[in-house]
């Protein structure tokens, strides 16, 4: 009997030991120990290091004046269809790489001179920039900002008899965010202090105007956000089809902020009326006008990696010069008295929408 008890105790002890050992191996509480599946446990510090190793742009400043952008843009359009078609983004990146992202008084002459050499076949953009260490960076950064602005499209144009006729075009297919014929005021207010909620810099551009002014989609894309935000009030977030740009339109009108047909996932064409100017926001309660001055806040966030979208590493750029550049292309609208909605007069067909829908 005594021997049987010893055997019984030995078996129980072995079972307990095996159970403890199994629990230890399965839980893997030691962060340096691989779990039973063979996948290494990654600590928070290691995750940050992995993020740092990812090869994508983490900071962009954009200082190109509207006048320089216009010069580069016109050269692009002038050479469309020629043997050597100048790329306006490459021209801007070339000047930026020469001056560390700045555009001195000599910038326009340098750009035009380089464009002429390219046009005459004396050099190529690769030869022109081969010794520029940071040209590739500026070319990628400026492409992220501007690649949806210029291209082929079809648009209705009014004829002498008043009818609308479709025409094939190449040129500026991005629009000012404020409809044609509506007055606004603005100045460069990027980075100024904001205090509601917490102290922070202003990461967008304000355009002051009248309540109900039609707000226009700058670029074609899809609605990623629609609704109330305690800072921006009624706001719309539209993502470009290449996912690189996120357009943020805020402080829209109380009670009637959006085009009624919009919802998350809706596809919009550049030039469409998406909402109406107001002064909602700065409130946890919805549909409240706590912004003192009626205006549109629009911002442009660059996204090179999805981890940047909603994080402490967001990239917002100064949109003042972009707004000045886009002012040359303002969409004409008219009001439907029955629905009280505003709509564009001349419709547009953007081939980027067809590509997006097919995919």
Task: Check residue 52 and give its pLDDT.
Answer: 55
- The closest alpha carbon to 248, from 223, 267, 282, belongs to 223
Task: Check residue 202 and give its pLDDT.
Answer: 82
Neighbours of 50 (CB within 10 A): 10
CA distance 226 to 215: 14
Q: What are phi and psi of 79, to 5 degrees?
A: -95, 5
Q: Which helix (H) or strand (E) holds 26?
A: helix 2-27
* Residue pLDDT tens, the chain, 359 long: 434 344 444 444 454 444 444 433 333 333 322 222 232 333 445 445 555 567 899 999 999 999 999 999 999 999 999 999 999 999 999 999 999 999 999 999 999 999 999 999 999 999 999 999 999 999 999 999 999 999 999 999 988 888 999 999 999 999 999 999 999 999 998 888 776 766 678 889 999 999 999 999 999 999 999 999 999 999 999 999 999 999 999 999 999 999 999 999 999 999 999 999 999 999 999 999 999 999 999 999 999 999 999 888 899 999 999 999 999 999 999 999 999 999 999 999 999 999 999 98
Which whole-number Å values give the CA distances from 84 to 75, 115, 153, 243, in the listed order? 11, 10, 21, 29
CA distance 233 to 288: 8
CA distance 152 to 168: 7
Token pair in block for residue 161? 């008899």
For the domain spanning 174-358, the CATH number is: 2.70.70.10
Contacts of 188 (CB under 8 A, 6+ apart): 205, 318, 320
Where does CATH 2.70.70.10 sit in the chain? 174-358
Task: Check residue 296 and give its pLDDT.
Answer: 98
- The closest alpha carbon to 242, from 179, 139, 149, 312, belongs to 149
Q: What are phi and psi of 325, to 5 degrees?
A: -65, -45
Contacts of 291 (CB under 8 A, 6+ apart): 233, 251, 279, 280, 281, 282
Q: Given the structure tokens 């269809």, which residue do they identify?
A: 81
Handedness of CA 301, 305, 306, 309 (dihedral sign): negative
CA distance 315 to 236: 18
CA distance 48 to 331: 45
Contacts of 148 (CB under 8 A, 6+ apart): 174, 219, 220, 221, 240, 241, 242, 245, 352
CA distance 226 to 281: 14
- Counting Cα atoms < 13 Å in the Cβ hemisphere of 239 gives 17
Which whole-number Å values give the CA distances from 195 to 50, 199, 282, in the listed order? 34, 4, 10
Which whole-number Å values give the CA distances from 342 to 168, 169, 222, in the listed order? 25, 25, 20
Q: Given the structure tokens 């979208």, which residue do they identify?
A: 309
Q: What are phi and psi of 101, to 5 degrees?
A: 90, -5
């Amino acid at each position: 009997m005594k021997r049987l008890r010893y055997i019984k105790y030995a078996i129980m002890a072995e079972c307990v030991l095996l159970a403890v050992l199994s629990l230890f191996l399965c839980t893997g509480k030691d962060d340096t120990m691989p779990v039973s599946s063979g996948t290494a446990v990654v600590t928070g510090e290691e995750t940050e290091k992995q993020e740092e190793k990812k090869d994508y742009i983490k900071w962009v400043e954009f200082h190109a004046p509207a006048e320089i952008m216009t010069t580069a843009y016109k050269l692009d359009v002038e050479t469309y269809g020629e043997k050597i078609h100048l790329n306006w983004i490459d021209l801007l990146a070339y000047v930026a790489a020469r001056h560390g992202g700045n555009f001195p008084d000599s910038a326009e002459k340098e750009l035009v001179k380089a464009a002429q050499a390219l046009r005459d076949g004396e050099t190529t953009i690769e030869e022109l920039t081969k010794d520029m260490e940071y040209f590739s960076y500026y070319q990628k950064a400026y492409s992220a900002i501007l690649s949806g602005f210029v291209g082929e499209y079809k648009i209705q144009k009014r004829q002498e008899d008043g009818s609308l006729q479709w025409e094939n075009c190449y040129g500026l297919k991005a629009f000012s965010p404020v409809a044609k014929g509506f007055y606004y005021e603005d100045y460069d207010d990027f980075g100024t202090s904001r205090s509601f909620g917490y102290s922070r810099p202003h990461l967008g551009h304000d355009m002051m105007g009248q309540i109900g002014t039609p707000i226009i989609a700058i670029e074609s894309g899809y609605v990623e956000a629609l609704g109330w935000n305690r800072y921006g009030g009624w706001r719309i977030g539209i993502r470009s089809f290449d996912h690189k740009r996120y357009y943020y339109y805020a402080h829209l009108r109380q009670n009637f902020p959006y085009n009624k047909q919009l919802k998350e996932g809706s596809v919009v064409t550049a030039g469409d009326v998406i909402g109406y100017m107001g002064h909602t926001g700065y409130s946890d309660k919805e549909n409240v006008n706590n912004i003192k001055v009626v205006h549109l806040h629009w911002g442009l966030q660059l996204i090179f990696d999805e981890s940047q979208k909603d994080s402490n590493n967001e990239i917002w750029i100064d949109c003042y010069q972009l707004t000045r550049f886009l002012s040359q292309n303002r969409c004409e609208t008219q009001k439907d008295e029955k629905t009280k909605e505003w709509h564009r007069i001349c419709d547009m067909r953007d081939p980027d929408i067809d590509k997006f829908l097919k995919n």
